[in-house]
Amino acid sequence: MKILGIETSCDETSIAIIENGKKILSNIISTQIDIHKEYGGVVPEIASRYHIKNIAAVLDESLEEAKLSLDDIDAIAVTYAPGLIGALLVGIGFAKSLSYTLKKPLIPVHHIKAHIYSNFLEHNITLPAISLVVSGGHTNIVYIDESHNFTNLGGTIDDAVGEAYDKIARVLGLGYPGGPIIDKMYYNGDENFLKITEPKLTGEYDFSFSGVKTFIINYVNRAKMRGENFSNDDVAASFQNNIVNILVKKTIKAALEKNVSSIIIAGGVAANSLLRKRLSIEGKKYNLNVFFPSIKLCTDNAAMIGVAAYYKYEKFGENTYADLTLNGIASLSIEQD
Ligand code: KG4
Ligand code: ZN
């Protein structure tokens, strides 16, 4: 089964062709990072416009790389939520017209699930599992049972972890996106330079990153006001140390409590080198298999949409196919999808 996946939920226009949920025949990603860099974050209206401008060319390139024509495709899959509404609509409209004109079934895909499924492209994963989803828009701990049912155990009550990285990078004047830059700086700084406390939360798998953000903004402003010198590397290292420790602790706790043997990390922040290292080390201690996608599959891409659609089809068969109105699915949660 060859599925054409379409992803336009944020600032990447991506179209991929995936065979039988495992083989990437093509995965073309047109990123808008250089355009949004100027503003220090994604500007939704600009993102939508660039998706419109690029999507047809991305489709052509994807077919060309896979050496296929649209006739060879069995189904069209598209991210329907969550994401920037204008950006999503470009991909959804495009997918609907392909589905209608080519008379091929349409499979709507939940973006967070797709991030998790990116791991299934490269690894053989035993379920049940705990997944930590960490991206620019999301921070969730999710339980996945043997039948691929998803339960959200907790999430951020304010900023997403990637968002916190991007905001701290802006405060320190480092550029966008902040994650990869801070990740590199970590190795030149002292991770114990700032003593940052962990926020107290009611939900044991909930997160809050607004406190660490305010703490660092206050530290930087106070130091500047007093004319004190500090090293950006030390601040970046302390921030990353604090964030990674919290993510690792809660993920391991959830895995032990739910008695799973697999941990799946997903989303843009899954590219973080310290998170990869510390979770692997902690996982080993408890006999847990920790899986990460390769770096290219961490950030937004359509290969993950194709693979998520494949598993959805495996589970629900032709009931996965949506009619073109996509009635009632605009904002389904990961459990309802
Ligand atoms: O999954 P993604 O491409 O987009 C969303 O769905 O949000 O994630 C983008 C986020 C950005 O906030 C970026 O700063 C972060 O992932 N990121 C990282 C790293 N690489 C990307 N954060 C920490 N460390 C990294 N190495
Ligand atoms: Zn994403």
The predicted-structure confidence for 67-126, as pLDDT tens digits, reads as follows 999 999 999 999 999 999 999 999 999 999 999 999 999 999 999 999 999 999 999 999
Residue 39 pLDDT class (50, 70, 90 cuts): confident
**Please, which pLDDT band fits residue 328 given cuts at 50, 70 and 90?**
confident
DSSP 104: -
Whether residue 302 has pLDDT greater than 80: yes
Per-residue confidence (pLDDT) for residue 100, from 0 to 100: 96
Starting from the CA of residue 186, give the closest ligand.
1
Asked if 302 and 9 touch (Cβ cutoff 8 Å), the reply is no
CA dist., res. 216 & res. 240, Å (int)? 12
What is the phi/psi pair of residue 192, to 5°? -100, 10
Residues 303 and 300: their CA atoms lie apart, in Å, by 9
Beta bridge partners of 28: 15
Average pLDDT over residues 195-220: 94
Rounded CA-CA distance 2/18 in Å is 6
What percentage of the chain exceeds 90 in pLDDT?
92
Report the C-alpha gap between 265 and 292 in whole angstroms. 5
End-to-end CA distance of the chain: 22
Dmax (CA) of the chain? 67
Q: Is 204 helix (H, G, I), strand (E, B) or coil?
A: coil
The per-residue pLDDT for 158 is 96
pLDDT recorded at residue 81: 92
- pTM value is 0.95
- Ion ligand 2 neighbours (CB, 5 A) are 135, 300
Nearest-angstrom CA–CA distance, 302 and 215: 37
Distance from the alpha carbon of residue 180 to the mean position of ligand 1, in angstroms: 8
Q: How far is the CA of 6 from the centre of ligand 2 (A)?
A: 13
Query: What's residue 238's pLDDT?
Result: 98
What is the 3-class SS of 151-175, one letter each residue?
A: EEEEEECCCCHHHHHHHHHHHCCCC
- Count of CB atoms within 10 A of residue 112's CB? 28
Percent above pLDDT 70 for the chain: 100
User: In degrees, to the nearest 5, what angle opens at C-alpha 305 toward C-alphas 303 and 310?
Assistant: 100
Task: Flag whether pLDDT at 326 surpasses 90.
Answer: no
Q: Whole-angstrom Cα distance, residue 323 to residue 106? A: 7
pLDDT band with cut points at 50, 70 and 90 for residue 216: very high
Sequence-distant (6+) residues with CB within 8 A of 331 are 81, 82
- How does the average pLDDT of the chain come out, rounded? 96
Ligand 1 near 136 CB (within 6 A) = yes
What average pLDDT does range 218-239 have in this prediction?
96
**What domains are there in the chain, each with its CATH number?**
2-117+297-336 (3.30.420.40), 125-292 (3.30.420.40)
Q: Point out the ligand 1 atom lying closest to the alpha carbon of residue 162.
A: 12
- Ligand 1 centroid to Cα of residue 67, in Å, is 31
3-state secondary structure of 216: helix
Q: Where does the pLDDT of residue 262 fall: very low under 50, low under 70, confident under 90, or very high at 90 and above? A: very high
Write out the E strands in 243-326: 262-266, 289-291
Residues in the chain: 337
Ligand 2 mean position, distance from CA 172 (Å): 24
Residue 235 has pLDDT above 90, yes or no: yes
**Ligand 1 atom with least separation from CA of 137:** 7
Mean pLDDT of 319-327: 88
Please report the pLDDT score of residue 331 as a whole number: 79
